[in-house]
Amino acid sequence: MTSQKIVNLITLASLLSWPTWGAQLSPRGSVTMGTKGESTGEWRKVRKAVDDLETAYQDAKSDEERDRLWKQYTATNDVAVSNAVVAAAFEPSSTTSFEMLEWVVTNRRFQAGAENVRADGLRAVELLGESHVNNTNIARVCRAIWHKGDWDHEPGVRFLKAVSDKNSEPCARGQAIFALARLTKAKAAALEDFENTTPSELPQERRTKYLDWVKDGDSKVLFAKAEKLLGVVIESYGDCPSLAKGEIRQQRSTIGKEAQAELFELRHLSLGKMAPDAIGVDLDGREMKLSSSRGKVVLLSFWASWCGPCMQMVPQERALARKMEGKPFALIGVNADAALANAKGAAVKEKMTWRSFWSGEEGSGGPIPMAWNIRGWPTVYVLDHKGVIRMKSEGYGGTRTDDLIEKKVTELVAKVEAEKR
């Protein structure tokens, strides 16, 4: 894409503020939508301008160009998100408003948790719940809600329940039920963490919130609800397409296959479960098995060189490996780079002295990430010396994540050493 075309796109996006794409201010401050054709046409110009900027960023040839285009894309995108919600709110039941709100909820920035667009994204979910529960094209929105993972956002949960009860389109209902299953499972996992954490280690606000949730049942109750919902998806909606195109996570063709993977994770990859074995080759092509480390506490880290948060964790992993040197501990990686050279280059550059499985040219869709149903990168498991899962952490929360992992590893290693005395 030429520099002039990029400038044209930025100019177009900046000029098309919401009063010009459908919502017109009257002298007294009231707002009315333009005609259906005018509103839809102008909105689609704005959306295309933003989408073209995102494409330009993805096609950038250098780090400098990528950084510049990312700043331009995010600035333009975030304004468009905010304006779309403002405009849609004046006539939320219209077809144009549905297009705007769907775009906001499925927007890359909202899905990634960008703070600048979080409030607008949640408001868009509320507006969709008020006016579009019966829309037969709502399936992609349902998926976006669970993919975003806001399981404590009550309007979103109410919206999914309404779609699952009222929508006439079977696959829309299936996506809504699958979303409810995923959010219930995520809430159960959060409660399970709370149940296994010393209360003083949690911020007061979070402690109060968790105590309120427990009134409706502990993590076991919620896991059972999630398991039941996943069963409904598999039995009644298993052939519905997954709509996973464009997601970083591994992709399965139907929500039935996705639900089966979620069910396997719930039954075999939860706290207290014996971890399944992982068999493959390392970055040098040598065979390796996870079970070969039985007798040691294992930190199993799913990572990739393209994953910024994964690489941010490496210094702490290096420090932990040094601290545990000579102790019954093993740090094992599972790499998701499709290009082996990228994985080996990152390991050398970051002084990653521990071995990593290579997932092969399938990358995040390789056999081990698929078997372990890895959705977010990084994901870390801590296994005790018997191979039982004692901790799971998805994503990277900086020092807090580092401290929790180190504390759990230190505690488990100390138990092994005490048993040997």
For 247-279, what is each residue's pLDDT tens digit? 555 567 899 999 999 999 999 999 999 999 999
- pLDDT tens digits, one per residue of 46-60: 889 999 999 998 888
Q: Does a structural domain hold residue 176?
A: yes
Domain's final residue, options 195, 215, 244:
195
User: Do 152 and 284 share a domain, yes or no?
Assistant: no
| Residue 223 lies inside a defined structural domain of this protein | no
Report if pTM > 0.85.
no
Is 13 a residue whose pLDDT tops 50? no
The tens digit of pLDDT for each residue in 64-106 reads 998 899 999 999 999 999 999 998 998 899 999 999 999 999 9
Domain's final residue, options 163, 195, 227: 195
Domain-embedded: residue 327: yes
Q: What's the domain range around 328?
A: 277-420
Contacts by 9-15 with C-beta closer than 8 Å and gap 24+? 9/49, 9/52, 9/53, 9/56, 10/53, 10/72, 10/76, 12/45, 12/46, 12/49, 13/46, 13/49, 13/50, 13/53, 13/76, 13/79, 13/80, 14/76, 14/79
Confidence of residue 24 (pLDDT cuts 50, 70, 90): very low
Instruction: Tell whether 84 is covered by a domain.
Output: yes
Same domain, residue pair 188 and 75: yes
Q: What is the pLDDT of residues 130-169, one digit of tens each?
A: 999 999 999 999 998 877 667 778 889 999 999 999 999 9
Sign for the CA dihedral angle at 387, 389, 391, 392 comes to: positive
